[in-house]
Amino acid sequence: MNKLERIQAAIRGEKTDQVPYSFWTHLPGIDLDPEKLAAMTYDFYREYDLDFIKTMNNGMYGVECFGCKIDYSDIEKGGVAKIISTPVCSASDWTKLSPLSLDNPVLARELHSLELILKKVKRENVPVIFTIFSPLTLADKISNRKVTEHVAQGYGAEVKKALAVIAQTTADLARRAIAMGADGVFFASQLSSYDKVSGSLYAEYGKPYDLQVLEAVRDGWFNTIHAHGTNIMFELLKDYPVNVFNWHAGESLPTVPEAFDLTGKCLMGGLERMDITNAHKNELYHQIYESILALGGRHLILTPGCVVRYPLNKEMLSFVKKAKDEVESSLKLHGRL
């Protein structure tokens, strides 16, 4: 099987020649230059023989395009980017947001990088999924984590107006990515956690706008929901119209077999990302073994639950495939796979 056939078979729940796998990280500094980002993304995929490419976009591009200014200096130290200025400083500012053209310099930069990646892999039969963010995730970042506070203050209508704007822009971007040749989107939902907001708030301010975006990419065969963090809103997300479900398995329920039984979807996950960063080899062997065995090697794309954090350890990144191959070989030898 080539990589494309392997991923497609996993999504259909068919037996594959080997369990497909991948991982991704941030590329601080590089991810602001579309040519360098495409080249580094391609080299990263080739170096670790990944079965699919998730675009490693600047994680703040979805708010940068609306006028936010970002400080990225902590990422290489294992931290996160920080917003240092935003057009939404008070609740009344939500009405200032307007839908963006795909000619917006930030959005054009991300699409150009995707174009270059797709050109590099044109004859390699490897799927590519383009990273986008849920509208409520972006609204929370744009407001410097004050979106729920503004709703509580009685500005729900203003927030919804802004969410509609963000959803329209995101849907247009995602639709263009699929039209360019991306096989799907990686739809990152970072607020769909009971640790962040209530289920009722997400049902009103999150889900309708998520579905608006996902409707725009219905032609993608590799659309993936990424439920970020712990204590995820599984009941709200499990039936989203996507082909693949990704979450921080091992850090947040459900378990791998539970997630499959309740979604019927191909699962992407099984590895705890900090065990890669912290060189916990025994833990990774165990996670690979448990994940493959739980599903009999089907309906599974083995990945971390989220981005591999810095400092990156190249030996550990190479170890993931080595351990996967060894576990698969042992399971097959003993007739368990």
Contact assessment for residue 190 and residue 134, using Cβ atoms and an 8 Å cutoff: yes
pTM for this model (two decimals) = 0.96
Mean predicted lDDT score pLDDT of the chain: 96
Residue 82: predicted pLDDT: 85
What span, in angstroms and rounded, lies between the C-alpha atoms of 177 and 274? 30
- In the chain, what percentage of residues exceed pLDDT 90? 95
Backbone angles phi, psi at 325, to 5 degrees: -60, -40
Give the model confidence (pLDDT) of 168-219 as tens digits: 999 999 999 999 999 999 999 999 999 999 999 999 999 999 999 999 999 9
The pLDDT of residue 2: 98
Cα 224 from Cα 246, distance rounded (Å): 7
Residue 30 is predicted with a pLDDT of 94
pLDDT at 305: 96
Q: Which residues of the chain have pLDDT under 50?
A: none
pLDDT of residue 182: 98
